[in-house]
Amino acid sequence: MADDGMLLNFSLPEDAFMTPKIFKGGNWKDRLTARKSAEWGRAKAAERVAGGGKRIPDYGDVQSEEEELIVGEQQRPANKARTSNDTAIVKKPKVAREPHRGDILPKTTTGEVISSLFTSNPSVVKTAVQPAPEAVDETPIEPSNAPLSDELATFTNLGLSPTLANHLLTKLQLKAPTAIQRKAIQLLCASDTDAFIQAETGSGKTLAYLLPIVQRISDISLVMKAASQSFTRRSGLFALILAPTRELSKQISAVLETLLSCCHWIVGGIVIGGEKKSSEKARLRKGVNILVATPGRLADHLDSTEVLDVSRVRWLVMDEGDRLVELGFEKDIQKIVSVLNMRGRSREGGVVVPGLPARRTTVLCSATIKADVEQLRSIALKDPVAIAVDAAELADGSDGKPEQAFSAPSQLKQSYAIVPAKQRLVTLVAVLKQAFKRKGTVMKCIVFMSAADSVDFHFEMLLGEADTLGDSTARLPSTNLSRSGKIPQGNTIAETRTQGVSKVCGGEGNEVRVFRLHGSLQQVTRTETLKGFAKCEGPAVLVCTDVMARGLDLPNVDLVVEFDPPASKDDHLHRIGRTARAGKAGRAMIFLLPGCEEGYVEVLKEGKPRNLTRHEGDELLKKGFAPMAGVVGQGDVKEWEQAATDWQLEAERSVNEHPRHLEQARRAYQSFVRAYATHVTAERGMFDMKALHLGHLAKAFGLRDKPGRIGVPGQRPSGKGGKEKRVVKSGGKKRSSSAMEDVDANGGAVDEGEARRKMLGRVKMMTGGASEFNLG
């Protein structure tokens, strides 16, 4: 028959006669929609072959809202082309392509759009930044931040007393100094010069400035004893150490306490806020010899705590000096320095402490100190000496002005993953599944996000317990309960719990705990969570903002994932520096979108990684979702695709079925977009808001709304579901919650609302004061 003959000439889609795939993820509606989509795709393809039809639009395609709404409806007749008399451009017909399973699903009854993970993803940039794979250098390498192995490198040779050196060996198991410690201890024990200390992350800078201070104060106590004066906690405050975050201040204070246990007559203290000022005042009243503080809190005490006598301060250290400037603490520091100068002069005629140096030594310390610390230089430093591991790396060591030549620890294995926006969430899951597949491979992993909302959302996704979120009393860990054992009023489980066992990551017999941390959490929760993660003996993932990026020294962190890009390349070095510390091994991976973000590879190379490995999103998905214990290429090649799709559908269902989760996902999405807009100017070409595909991105937050409905800044509000302005109350003041969370994204959690206020100003400035940021 003629008809039969015609049929034989059809080129049918590859899977036309295959058994339809079984969709497992999501609820019955999702699965039905997915199945219908596949059938619909097949039918459309056949239709197109028969008559040459219009290309089926994909959710990911750049198309008008109207076009998007065609999906699932009768296709409109193609627009009539204009006649040759028309000057208007005639639209080119779109190129037909094969439909794909789950490619674009018919509009659901609620107007949601469900797209496939594997179609319409932008192609990677191959020419500009992807030269032929570089040969991998497998030769063993000396860790660059490890203690020295040289026989002469002992703490006593650097000027430390045998008692202190012995204490380091017995109590801290530190046999030899690191390279930066050798230089800094020697110099600061012997002279009163101001200094910059710049060395890689994890190279022991904390001890590099603490040890000489403890040694010199111990020397003062000996001189006083020789002069028949007793050294007590009331003898004077001799050293001040400033740090940008409370967490870092606590860590420094803990290291200090360990050192002081060998010279118990020297007393350390800490003032960082987060507790009653009266308690801090009481401690200060008793007297301290070394004080660790956040700048805002110290400035506050200098104003209001009369008993705080700073006239004998002879050492002032600013740890993470560049971060202090970034967070806008110059004014507080300026105030602290001028008070130190003033009170130092006014008490010159007072009681003389034998052995006290004549001048104050100021030290600035960071892995990334550069010219922008100029402000601090002029405020606080006089003829500083640059102390760096490799002086050649500093542009001009003579005037103590380090330049930008910062590198990551040599033993740190770095990689980047090119992951399309749609696949970001499921690829993160794949990376973590793979990392924790086998017991003992990875103990701890830190995942950095750009905003607090995003942390909350991903924390819940990684726990994988969304179904029971509706029951607000379920699984609330005891640490999150109020003293009475009741759930704090007004708090939901999502707001209160900060840790739990993941149902998503981890393999058999390898239970993984997930933690979340950001600056919008209460101080007590932050402290407990951090302690919980640090002390967790099993495998653990910490999802956090940049509040964790600076200075924190957590044990056994093997892997750092920069899921959201850092706000600057310095932040990148600090984030990845949470692993590979003090000579230990470590891995770091950054997620980049295909396209202009690939340009960031050149920035990664500035950190001089030894072997920078590239991963493709599909390759990571295969490894994470492959059914055969991570062996790629076994069984059905598409099985991993199916498993990844099922997982994604399930995630989308959980987001869309729980109002609280949906709200959380929308907030996370909005915060991500806002944070994206605050990249430093030099990097905006790579992190280009205009190139960000908001529709694809929404999928990575489990959202099925169109971007216009999510209320993203700069997007047209569309109808009822348009942009919402959420204003919440905090401390009696109204503020935009999302704006505050963006502050966490950029500033981390610093002491006091003061820094937050400053940071808001910065974000506002960077975004041109755009009203949609609700910063007012």
Give the residues lining the site for ligand ATP (CB under 6 A): 147, 174, 177-178, 181, 201-207, 367, 551, 553, 577, 581-582
* DSSP-based three-state secondary structure for 450: coil
The CB-of-608 to ligand ATP minimum distance in angstroms stands at: 16
Q: In the complex, what is the shortest distance from the CB of residue 551 to ligand ATP, in angstroms, rounded to a whole number? A: 4
CA quadruple 758, 196, 209, 266: dihedral, nearest 10:
-70
- Pair of tokens at residue 126: 């191959």
Nearer to ligand ATP, 385 or 573 (CB): 573
Give start and end residues of each alpha helix (H) in 80-178: 162-172
Nearest distance from residue 522's CB to ligand ATP, in Å?
A: 25
Give the residue with the Cβ less far from ligand ATP, 368 or 520. 368
Residue in the structure block whose two tokens are 């892995």: 367
Q: Using the minimum distance from each CB to ligand ATP, give the nearer residue, 146 or 505.
A: 146
Return the number of the residue (147 or 594) whose C-beta is nearest ligand ATP.
Answer: 147
At closest approach, how far in Å is the CB of 675 from ligand ATP?
Answer: 23
Of the candidates 723, 718, 669, 717, the residue with the CA atom closest to the CA atom of residue 694: 669
- Read off φ and ψ for residue 283, nearest 5 degrees: -65, -45
Residues in the chain: 776
Residue nearest to ligand ATP (CB): 204
DSSP string, 641-709: HHHHHHHHHHHHHHHHH-HHHHHHHHHHHHHHHHHHTTS-GGGTTTS-GGG--HHHHHHHTT--S-HHH
CA 330 to CA 449: how far, in whole Å?
Answer: 27
Q: Give strand pairing partners of 447.
A: 543, 561
Please say which residue, 23 or 406, places its beta carbon nearer to ligand ATP. 406
- Closer to ligand ATP at the Cβ: 369 or 655? 369
The CA-atom distances, in angstroms, between 706 and each of 68, 251, 429, 720 are 9, 45, 24, 13
Per the CB < 8 A criterion, the answer to whether 117 and 58 are in contact is no
Question: Would you say 224 and 238 are in contact if contact means Cβ atoms under 8 Å apart?
Answer: no
d(CA 746, CA 763): 8
The smaller minimum CB distance to ligand ATP, of residues 259 and 367, is found at: 367
C-alpha to C-alpha distance for 16 and 45, rounded to whole angstroms: 9
Shorter beta-carbon distance to ligand ATP: residue 204 or 402:
204
Q: DSSP states of 705-757 as a string?
A: S-HHHHT-TTSPP-GGG-----EEEETTEEEEHHHHHHHHHHH-S-SHHHHHH
Is the CB of 209 or the CB of 457 nearer to ligand ATP?
209
Nearest distance in Å: CB 44, ligand ATP: 55
The residue among 586 and 695 lying less far from ligand ATP, judged by its C-beta, is 586
Q: Token pair of 286, please?
A: 């008793």
Nearer to ligand ATP, 201 or 480 (CB): 201
313: buried, middle or exposed (CB in 10 Å: 19+, 13-18, 0-12)? buried
| Closer Cβ to ligand ATP, 177 or 384, answer by number | 177
Q: Are 209 and 184 in contact (CB under 8 A)?
A: yes
Cβ proximity to ligand ATP, 129 vs 582, nearer residue: 582
Minimum distance between the CB of residue 369 and ligand ATP, rounded to whole angstroms? 11
Nearer to ligand ATP, 188 or 673 (CB): 188
Distance linking the first and last C-alpha atoms of the chain: 76
CB of 155 to ligand ATP, least distance (A): 8
Instruction: State in angstroms the smallest separation of the CB of 453 from ligand ATP.
Output: 26
The Cα–Cα gap between 740 and 768 comes to 17
Q: What residue type is 500 in one-letter code? A: G
CB closer to ligand ATP, 174 vs 379: 174
**763: part of which helix (H) or strand (E)?**
helix 752-766
**Triad 409, 547, 380: Cα angle to 5°:** 80
- Planar angle of CA 354, 355, 358, nearest 5 degrees: 105
Residue among 667, 662, 656 nearest 726 (CA): 667
Per-residue CA distances from 741 to 304, 545, 571, 672 (Å): 30, 10, 18, 10
